[in-house]
Amino acid sequence: MSSRSIGLAAQVCTTAAWLLCVGGAAAQSITSVGLFPGGGNSAVYAISNGGAAAAGFSNDATSRDMTLRWLQPSTTQNLGLLPVGVTNTYGQAISLGGTIIAGYGDSGGNTRAFRWTNTGGYQVLPLIPGTNFATASGISSAGTRVVGTSGIGTTARAFLWEDSNPGVVLNLGVLAGQLSSSANAISGDGSTIVGASGTLAFRWTSTRGMVSLGSLPGQTSATARSVSPTGTTVAGLWNNGGERGFKWTATTGMVDLPFMPTGTVLRPRGISGDGVLVVGQGNGKIGLGAFVHSDAMGTVDLASYLEARGVNLTGWQLNDCYAVDQHGTAFGGCGFFEGHAVGFVVRGLSRPSLAESAPTASAGVGISSAGGIGGGEPLHIACRGKDRDGDGHFDFFDYLSVVSGFSDSDVGVDFNGDTVIDFFDYLDFVAAFSMPR
């Protein structure tokens, strides 16, 4: 079938059918993971792919913090305490399928790393010989590798644990001239570990060992906080007298991330699987809150980003974002919902486009549907023209992209340029299918 025939066929889609298509695609939502009975606060530190499962903590009526495992749509599990006398536990990382969690438990000076599975429960991980505490902060997609930090006093070392040799952990050492190290994350494929050694951020692989990511002008310290599934992109925090964010690739090296408008603090926490999105906490016009960044879009507050994509945030204040899934379709963090400090999971978003544009001073696009942002607030999404997928052909796949764009309130579907996304833009697009190529 020719693209012209497909275009003519697309025109037979009635107004009612088009509205059903747009409405049916809008499955995006935010969910509170809740609190343990009697608890006063909770947080989500990690999510599985798609946000179907999450790990974090909640306190209970006795004010103890315990690992929380959340499963969509509304199951909240209390994983309890470790069998080594600790009084608090915290889930820090979760496997791709959501069945394995890594974290740590503590009680005063007694801190131990753990790995939890839904079949075997808690497994206390070994210490590096000569140390007396350990925390776990990252896990591979399959849950077979865990990374963290083991130390004594003020001396610490990054470690790697593998289920193929569960009785020991590998000491990853330190960078030359540095006295300590800590591991914060591991790539999904288990090949790459990132963290900090002294004042420098590092990237570790089995072939090259621990390598510094470099430095930025005026840098006094840096730590790598997250890494993409294949280890090619790293995000983290650096300091030059204030807290700033960076993103690293082998091609670009360390690149400073911009603040939100009027901001002075940026604390990256997580990175999407394709390395497009970085999330965390920063300040801006509305004070300290969660942010999301892409190279093309810049750094914006997460609440505006989500509302522009149809997420109803009524009653929510998003304070921090710790996690984003592989495709940028789910987020996890903590905030306030109707006055309660709780963890959240956002699910069902469309995969972000590489063509998302930087914030501009333009009037923006007002969204005519409920839940969008009005008042001329820019949505910061590039108009990609009628060849929506950029393959050089104007065909049915562009039509599908347009339907998705209407669901996401994408300014790229404002085809008639009246700054309102509505049915007249759809008619303009359909008419284009009838034009000679």
Question: Residue 387's domain spans which residues?
Answer: 3-24+360-433
Residues 77 and 184 in one domain: yes
pLDDT exceeds cutoff 90 at 66: yes
Minimum mean pLDDT range among 28-42, 260-274, 339-353, 409-423: 409-423
pLDDT exceeds cutoff 50 at 41: yes
User: pLDDT tens digits for 3-35?
Assistant: 333 332 333 333 233 222 333 333 799 999 999
User: pLDDT tens digits for 174-228?
Assistant: 999 999 999 999 999 999 999 999 999 999 999 999 999 999 999 999 999 999 9
User: Is the pTM above the cut of 0.85?
Assistant: no
Residues 379 and 265 in one domain: no
Residues 415 and 312 in one domain: no
pLDDT exceeds cutoff 50 at 362: no
Domain for residue 352, yes or no? no
Residues 75 and 14 in one domain: no
What pLDDT, on the 0 to 100 scale, is given for residue 287? 87
Contacts of 246 (CB under 8 A, 6+ apart): 201, 216, 222, 235, 236, 237, 238, 254, 255, 256, 257, 268
Domain for residue 77, yes or no? yes
Domain for residue 188, yes or no? yes
Contact indicator for 341, 40 with CB cutoff of 8 Å = yes
User: pLDDT tens digits for 213-259?
Assistant: 999 999 999 999 999 999 999 999 999 999 999 999 999 999 999 99
What pLDDT, on the 0 to 100 scale, is given for residue 414? 53
**Residue 290 vs residue 436, higher pLDDT:** 290
What pLDDT, on the 0 to 100 scale, is given for residue 226? 98
State the SS3 of the chain.
CCHHHHHHHHHCCCHHHHHHHHHHHCCCEEEECCCCCCCCEEEEEEECHHHCEEEEEEECCCCCEEEEEEECCCEEEECCCCCCCCCEEEEEEECCCCCEEEEEEEECCEEEEEEEECCCEEEECCCCCCCCEEEEEEECCCCCEEEEEEEECCEEEEEEEECCCCCCCEECCCCCCCCCEEEEEECCCCCEEEEEECCEEEEEECCCEEEECCCCCCCCEEEEEEECCCCCEEEEEEECCCEEEEEEECCCEEEEECCCCCCCCEEEEEECCCCCCEEEEEEECCEEEEEEEECCCEEEEHHHHHHHCCCCCCCEEEEEEEEECCCCCCEEEEEEECCEEEEEEEECCCCCCCCCCCCCCCCCCEECCCCCCCCCCCCCCCCCCCCCCCCCCCCHHHHHHHHHHHHCCCHHHCCCCCCEECHHHHHHHHHHHCCCC
Average pLDDT over the chain, rounded to an integer: 82
CA distance 99 to 91: 12
Contact indicator for 281, 288 with CB cutoff of 8 Å = yes
What pLDDT, on the 0 to 100 scale, is given for residue 290? 98
What pLDDT, on the 0 to 100 scale, is given for residue 223? 99
pLDDT exceeds cutoff 70 at 74: yes
Domain for residue 85, yes or no? yes
pLDDT exceeds cutoff 50 at 388: no
Residues forming beta bridges with residue 70, ordered by sequence position: 54, 76
User: pLDDT tens digits for 108-164?
Assistant: 779 999 999 999 999 999 999 999 999 999 999 999 999 999 999 999 999 999 999
Q: How many domains does the chain have?
A: 2
Residues 18 and 115 in one domain: no
Domain for residue 353, yes or no? no
CATH code of residue 268: 2.120.10.30
pLDDT > 90: what percent of the chain?
70
